[in-house]
Structure 1
């Protein structure tokens, strides 16, 4: 029996025409340009003297890096030129809603793209993600219109818009996911409470219904993280994801005043709908189906980059395992295998000569100490090592990681390298606090402890700057190990401190910095450190030895609480001295040649002092 025609039509979705998709893409995007120009035209005071976008101020940003470009931008900075560009931009945006021919549409899109590029320097403040998305969409629609007679060109542009849209949502979601503030639901009330994006009524509503607020936050995370599923199941999830995202932007427009975001991001939705459909349900009046060359090329390039990233990761790991060639290993009572080395050849390795053991900070390696360890090693037996999981050291622990694991390993290694000899512990950042805890366990053998811009167990509770830095660190450590294991190590920017180290250790230090194992170890440590430092009961351990406290000047200048905490270190010791390395920041105090030289002089004098006969640490 023949099936009724009406039932066949109902089951067969209409073909999505690329020309229609292109029309709606450029039209919706043009609304963003229209609103942006109308805003700028009605807020001319921002460009006048004293305004946020006064060119006399903004040009300094460009002149320092591109003086020739700055002279060209000076021509555009004239108020009459700026006004003319905005008027033409608004006119071109409105014109795209008219029934123009292909050439006219190319011209209108080109005006929008070119004028936004020319005006960018004039509006550094006030631009946002909506402007970036609208520029990308309009530039691609210009290319698509210019090559409209070649369907493959149009499809490539639409694919680019679609992939960029999906990537934007996905990255936004996965970047929020590690944040405890987002997972707990506190992010939304925090945003609505701000001066810029706040809404008192919505904030009160969220406070009244915390469970609903948390559910909403989880919904946002789920929508953004799951956006790649738009391409799954022959595109069936795409309409629901696009509807959810559109509703999200619509609410943001009402609550946070982000109206342009709605138009900018929804302008990408036609391309997403087009590219997520089965290929046989796309095409145009001539029957030419969608060309999927671009995503195939992108996938191939992605696989090639992934393979290259894995090769680079393996090579870095091999370099780390080789180390500098003179490392030794020691297995602690917990089973961790620590890599350590002696710096230099001390002239007097006798039984009464002290052993200096240098303890690093979090996410730092033994190579951080090179400018300090090398000169100290010419006079004293000086040992640097990698904590479990860093560099070539291995973490073998099972079960839940404990804070005391770091101290246990330090105590075991100290007893191994020092034997019965006296010990001086030197710690930087977290390493300073670990050195104090180890000194308590090694009572009688440790003659002194040197704290170099050390962490304090109360810093997260008493310093707002440290607390905010701790939140950022939590987010960073949540994504770094996985990203680096995925092969993105080469994309991690070269840290400034690497190039301040002696050239002989830079490549090794850089390999360690880009190694996922370092970041996994730091994440493991930070979890227990954060718990300890946020605990009201956490206090300084008893300090029964001589102490030298060295503070980075930039630390004291930017965070007075840190300076007070360092004073508390000194006050808690029976015998202590305080030093400030002016203008040094937390890393420079170790890695800058001149500042490290100052630290070496301080440490050398301190060791000589505490090792004098009769010095027992009494006040």
Structure 2
């Protein structure tokens, strides 16, 4: 009976893996310099709000696929061109590189995607969590790129804060057994996370399949190992030479307090830095849900206007 249950679980997992590997069917693919195969999609603006038609690039957090950003993308894509992609191992992207994964390889893959899909237009990197740190590191290689960071991670944060290091260790412990258990179908037992109900209906099933897919958990564990190691190095917060807008959730507590000093350092390092705190949005709600999307859309428009000047409605 146990063997039958395991066989059934593995069968369900194989069907789920197939659905994830099919994705939306609209993705394009890039063989990155790292050897990874990166899936991406360019969503041209219907009616560009600015003559320069800046390219807004979404960079998701550890353990998240870009499909979870669909509500925000749908709210923005009439006015703004958007580049979406999944890092290696997430969604239809495949991890193929030899050697040890590092945050630098994620930065390299991101730069490859922007070079492939972008043009001479302005680029705005919009990163969340670990994706915010990857965007911050990529900005150094993109002389004209601006940054919009949502609750970003920081260099040396695990060296600077015992609390953040402890939370990272707990996250690693929680991730440790997920790939193997997902391989045998046990991820079907995972309760849908709170963010699932906030997703547009047409991507909800795909996002839940991705959430229960062993490859997502393998990618998350790989990124966690790199981040947990590298963020204990005494690296400084990079100096940002281009416009930067920091968006923080309204989560209160010791964890948020640990980040405040780093937020202040980032803004001080930027030639043109600003910040918005979303009073009614919690850390785990970014960048999903109607309330979060309604808060972010005008911020994006205002930030892009500060870069590109008056738009068509001015």
Range into which the TM-score falls when normalised by the shorter chain = over 0.9
Higher strand share: 2
Higher helix share: 1
Instruction: Give, in angstroms, the shift of residue 556 of structure 1.
Output: 6.5
Matched residue, 1:352: 52
Output one character per residue of 1:535-589: Cα deviation in whole Å (capped at 9) or x when no partner: 1x21212211100000000156753122332222211100011100114222212
Any conservation in 1 of the 2:17–2:213 contact (CA below 8 Å)? yes
Equivalent-residue separation in structure 2 for 1:489 and 1:478 (angstroms)? 14
Q: Among residues 587, 592, 609, which one is paired with 2:306 in the alignment?
A: 609
Equivalent-residue separation in structure 1 for 2:239 and 2:249 (angstroms)? 24
Distance 1:344 1:510, change over 3 A: farther
Matched residue, 2:193: 495
Instruction: Say whether residues 1:319 and 2:16 are aligned partners.
Output: no
Equivalent-residue separation in structure 1 for 2:104 and 2:254 (angstroms)? 32
Distance 1:359 1:308, change over 3 A: same
Q: Which runs of 4+ in 1 moved over 4 A?
A: 555-558
SS of the equivalent of 1:348 reads coil
Task: Report 1:77-116 matches (<5 A).
Answer: none
Structure 2, unpaired ranges of 5+? none
Instruction: Say whether residues 1:594 and 2:291 are aligned partners.
Output: yes
Output one character per residue of 1:459-493: Cα deviation in whole Å (capped at 9) or x when no partner: 32333442222111111221111111122110122
Output one character per residue of 1:397-417: Cα deviation in whole Å (capped at 9) or x when no partner: 012223211000001101111
Equivalent-residue separation in structure 1 for 2:244 and 2:153 (angstroms)? 15
Instruction: Say whether residues 1:576 and 2:273 are aligned partners.
Output: yes
Equivalent-residue separation in structure 1 for 2:210 and 2:171 (angstroms)? 18
Distance 1:370 1:557, change over 3 A: farther
Output one character per residue of 1:238-269: Cα deviation in whole Å (capped at 9) or x when no partner: xxxxxxxxxxxxxxxxxxxxxxxxxxxxxxxx
Matched residue, 1:45: none
Instruction: Give, in angstroms, the shift of residue 351 of structure 1.
Output: 8.0
Equivalent-residue separation in structure 2 for 1:456 and 1:556 (angstroms)? 18
Equivalent-residue separation in structure 1 for 2:295 and 2:277 (angstroms)? 10
Instruction: Say whether residues 1:436 and 2:133 are aligned partners.
Output: no
Alignment: residue pair count = 310
SS of the equivalent of 2:158 reads helix
Q: Among residues 402, 410, 417, which one is paired with 2:117 in the alignment?
A: 417
Matched residue, 2:29: 329
Instruction: Say whether residues 1:562 and 2:262 are aligned partners.
Output: no
Distance 1:472 1:509, change over 3 A: same
Equivalent-residue separation in structure 2 for 1:523 and 1:503 (angstroms)? 28
Q: Among residues 521, 524, 543, which one is paired with 2:240 in the alignment?
A: 543
Structure 1, unpaired ranges of 5+? 1-299, 614-619
Matched residue, 1:394: 94
Instruction: Say whether residues 1:477 and 2:151 are aligned partners.
Output: no
Matched residue, 1:141: none
SS of the equivalent of 1:340 reads strand
Equivalent-residue separation in structure 1 for 2:253 and 2:261 (angstroms)? 9
Equivalent-residue separation in structure 2 for 1:334 and 1:580 (angstroms)? 36
Alpha-carbon RMSD: 1.9
Equivalent-residue separation in structure 1 for 2:155 and 2:304 (angstroms)? 25
Equivalent-residue separation in structure 1 for 2:243 and 2:19 (angstroms)? 39
Matched residue, 1:515: 213
Any conservation in 1 of the 2:281–2:291 contact (CA below 8 Å)? no
Distance 1:579 1:431, change over 3 A: same
Instruction: Say whether residues 1:458 and 2:156 are aligned partners.
Output: yes
Instruction: Give, in angstroms, the shift of residue 590 of structure 1.
Output: 1.1
Any conservation in 1 of the 2:60–2:128 contact (CA below 8 Å)? yes
Instruction: Say whether residues 1:527 and 2:225 are aligned partners.
Output: yes
Output one character per residue of 1:424-461: Cα deviation in whole Å (capped at 9) or x when no partner: 11000011111111110111x31x10001111123323
Any conservation in 2 of the 1:320–1:508 contact (CA below 8 Å)? yes
Instruction: Give, in angstroms, the shift of residue 388 of structure 1.
Output: 0.6
SS of the equivalent of 2:14 reads helix
Instruction: Give, in angstroms, the shift of residue 368 of structure 1.
Output: 2.0
Equivalent-residue separation in structure 1 for 2:44 and 2:253 (angstroms)? 33
Any conservation in 2 of the 1:390–1:521 contact (CA below 8 Å)? yes
Any conservation in 2 of the 1:401–1:524 contact (CA below 8 Å)? yes
Greater relative CO (CA pairs within 8 A, separation 6+): 2
Output one character per residue of 1:201-236: Cα deviation in whole Å (capped at 9) or x when no partner: xxxxxxxxxxxxxxxxxxxxxxxxxxxxxxxxxxxx
Matched residue, 1:73: none
Matched residue, 1:467: 165
Equivalent-residue separation in structure 2 for 1:304 and 1:459 (angstroms)? 47
Give the number of the structure whose alpha-carbon radius of gyration is greater. Answer: 1
Any conservation in 2 of the 1:344–1:374 contact (CA below 8 Å)? no
Task: Report 1:132-147 matches (<5 A).
Answer: none
SS of the equivalent of 1:534 reads coil
Scaled by the length of structure 1, the TM-score of the pair is 0.48
Task: Report 1:128-207 matches (<5 A).
Answer: none
